[in-house]
Amino acid sequence: MLELQQVSLQLGQDPEDPLLLTDVSIRFPKKHFTAVIGPSGCGKSTLLKVIAGLREPTLGHVEWNGRNLSEDGDMDPHEIGYVPQFSIAYDLLTVWESVESALRLRVAGMDADEREKRLDRILGEVGLDEITDREVRVLSGGQKRRLAMALEMVSSPHLLLCDEVTSGLDPKAEDEIVKLMHQLSRSDDRIVLSVTHSLRHLALYDSILVLYRGQVAYHGASEFLYHYFGVEQPEDLFPRLAQRQPEDWHRSWQKHRAAYVTGSRPDAATDTAALETVTDRSTGGDDDDSDAARKRVEELLKKVQDDDADGAEKKSKSPKTDDAPDDDEHEDTPSVLTQFGVLLARRWKIFFRDRGGLWLQFALLVGFPILVVIFALDGLPQIKNLNGVVSANFLEQMKNEIVQSQELIKTGGLVSGLIMFQVVLLALMGSNNAAREIAGERLIFEKEKFAGVSPAAYVASKAAFLGVLVLVQSVWMGVFVHVIVQFQGDLATQILLLTLVNASLTSICLGLSSLMKTAEQASLVSVYLVGFQLPLSGAVLALPKVLSTITQPFIASYWGWSGFIQTMHETRFYEAVKKVTQTEISNAPLCIWWLACHVVLGLIIAYTGCKNSRWE
């Protein structure tokens, strides 16, 4: 049983802040289907979030099967399913793949046959068994709502919360979804609460909960709804609510609630009160209405007794399917390592199906190194001469020495610029890699985290996926430019530094992505971050000593540029660069250490951002 006892929720901490919910006391028995209705902004979705544990009540508490959730902790992920208003599936996955990945992420200890049986059963229940190989992006609105429910049914929850799942659907699709929710409420002793604006299917609901400005105005059987409010048509209900203050409706309901079946099974003490006061309601009414209500209460009370007797007998006789868990059976959540593997495999699958993203990655991988070489073409002769390329003729060699000494400064500027160009382009690749990685799917992740997915597994899967991109991009950039331009120095260390520059910006942008509200916002901030890399690195124009001391620790491009140049310490490249820069060049091990710190910092920010809720 689910019960809310005097639950209130205040918007802020100030005593003057408004209450989103006020003194909500309701309960729902097993196998119960409730519609939560009311005008926009009355607290319907907020109520679901309080029940789900996404919002902590200011006063009062929620009980689940006699357990105080405020004191004993939230429900286990397997006990509750939440279908939010937004899409919770990846467009490039098929229906089968979406539900299968949800099952792998939420339920441990199942072999391949058991998973297939449960998937077949769930997809059959929600009516998607004929389109299992269809991608999510081509599904209709109604099919996406069915898929959302299928994703929640993988763990067979005993409480299913549905937030506006029928909004925006055509009448036929709406009929199908409401009937599906009704059907789900009749299996596994499940409670289904559905927030809706539609009053087209009242007969299918066991009870109707009416909220008005955060207060309960009614919670009873659908048969009595119009009788209680004194209206005849559904469209008259909300205007009727507006005729009185929410406090008046709430007081009236507190006074007359015993006269109505509120969805919880009435006990002997309330039976008599219900029959005595059913005609004494605040909205008035004629005798015929009162007699009809009295008769209906008597019928419902008798039905409750019959259902209790039949339920006990059926429970002892009815067999359970092999893949459906018992009421008291606890389905373990998979380990962090298992979730990591599922998330990583899913990410690669999405990556290779995203044609636009693949072409962009290919263009950056091929185009950026070529761009560096193009800017180096005019200076290749002096760079190669600086490498020690000499003529066999002594006089010609002497002439080259004179030319080199005259163009040493020019060459130093070119070498420094090419190194920084590589570094900045890799920083831009890092930004492109990660800026949208979390922010672009944040709502899906929040839903999966609510269902038991570990933030550590999620961030680790992102790091592993992005790490492959970083490695391929950086190694190819370093090798390609090295072969064409013929830079001297330790190639392995140079590639390590380029990789760490890319990794540091990728990691930091991943952290920013976990903090931003939208993918567009994350992309914009990441571009600004890359834009500040060049001027604050000091590679082009030296910064004042005080400013450089403050900024350089945070500028990955400085450490990449400085460490790369330091690998040329025993060559004339280093001498040439020193002549054109006033910025101090740090040693390579220090640069590697700082860049590694950036990578770790970005991952810590990403984990912290993912652990903190950003549920909309």
What is the distance between the alpha carbons of residues 262 and 27, in angstroms, rounded to a whole number?
8
For residue range 100-136, list pLDDT tens digits in order.
999 999 999 899 999 999 999 999 999 999 999 999 9
> Which element (helix H / strand E) includes 442?
helix 442-450
The letter for the amino acid at 578 is K
Dmax (CA) for the chain in angstroms is 123
Residue 131, φ and ψ in degrees, nearest 5: -130, 35
Q: How far apart are CA 471 and CA 581, in angstroms?
A: 30
Specify the amino acid at residue 10.
Q
Tokens of 432: 């492109």
Nearest Cα neighbor of 217 from 254, 262, 266 is 254
The CA distance from 288 to 332, in Å, is 55
Alpha carbons within 13 angstroms on the beta-carbon side of residue 3 total 11
In the numeric block, the tokens 């209705």 are attached to 37
| CA 338 – CA 260 distance, rounded (Å) | 49
In this structure, the number of other CB atoms found within 10 A of the CB of residue 248 comes to 14
Single-letter residue type at 552 = Q
Q: Transcribe 501-543 into DSSP letters.
A: HHHHHHHHHHHHHHH-SSHHHHHHHHHHHHHTHHHHHSSSSPP
AA letter at 121 = R
Output the six-digit token pair for 541: 């124009």
| Type of residue at 254 | Q
DSSP 232-299: SSGGGHHHHHTTS-HHHHHHHHHHHGGGS--SSPP-HHHHHHHHHHTT--TT---HHHHHHHHHHHHH
* Token pair in block for residue 549: 């001391």
Mutual angle of helices 455-485 and 355-376, in 10-degree steps: 30
Tokens of 235: 């469209």
Query: How high is the pLDDT of residue 191?
Result: 95
Q: Are strands 32-37 and 67-68 parallel, antiparallel or unpaired?
A: unpaired
Confidence at residue 28, expressed as pLDDT on a 0 to 100 scale: 93
CA separation for the pair 163, 115 (Å, rounded): 28
Q: Two tokens at 282? A: 């605040």
Q: CA triplet 68, 206, 62: central angle to 5 degrees?
A: 10
Q: Give the per-residue pLDDT at 283.
A: 44
Q: Pairing mode, if any, of strands 32-37 and 207-212?
A: parallel
CA distances from 205 to 33, 44, 216, 289 (A): 5, 16, 17, 21
Low-confidence ranges of the chain (pLDDT < 70): 261-330, 379-409, 539-542, 616
Q: Is 1 helix (H, G, I), strand (E, B) or coil?
A: coil
Answer positive or negative: Cα dihedral of 162, 165, 167, 172.
negative
Helix (H, G, I), strand (E, B) or coil at 393: coil
Q: What is the pLDDT of residues 325-380, one digit of tens each?
A: 454 455 788 999 999 999 999 999 999 999 999 999 999 999 999 999 888 777 66
**477 CB-near residues (< 8 Å, 6+ apart):** 368, 369, 372, 422, 425, 426, 498
Contact 208, 199 (CB under 8 A): no
pTM for the structure as a whole: 0.84
* Residue 29 DSSP label: -
What per-residue confidence (pLDDT) applies to 586? 84
Strand pairing category for 191-195 and 159-163 = parallel
| pLDDT value at residue 308 | 47
Query: 3-class secondary structure for 137-179?
Result: HHCCHHHHHHHHHHHHHCCCCCEEEEECCCCCCCHHHHHHHHH
Question: Of the candidates 201, 192, 200, 197, which has an alpha carbon nearest to the alpha carbon of residue 210?
Answer: 197
- Residue 449: closest CA among 9, 52, 6, 22: 52
